[in-house]
Amino acid sequence: MITPVVIIFCWIVEPWTRCPYVQFWLRSLLAEAEAFGHASRTLHRVA
């Protein structure tokens, strides 16, 4: 049941991910998420 939703979502999002600005934004978002994950892991280790 969810497959058509995923296909439509990918169809809408895919052209956007080709845009260099969007690619840059996604990369910075991923880098921030990684940094946050690393920081939270470090905090858990300290606590």
* Contacts of 23 by beta carbon, 8 Å cutoff, 6+ apart: 17
pLDDT of residue 1: 66
Q: How confident is the model at residue 32 (pLDDT cuts 50, 70, 90)?
A: very high
What are the extents of the domains in the chain? Answer: 4-46
pTM, whole model, 2 decimals?
0.47
Main-chain phi, psi angles of 26, to 5 degrees: -65, -40
Main-chain phi, psi angles of 2, to 5 degrees: -80, -20
Averaged pLDDT for residues 11-19: 80
pLDDT of residue 28: 93
What is the spatial distance between Cα 22 and Cα 15, in angstroms, rounded to a whole number?
10
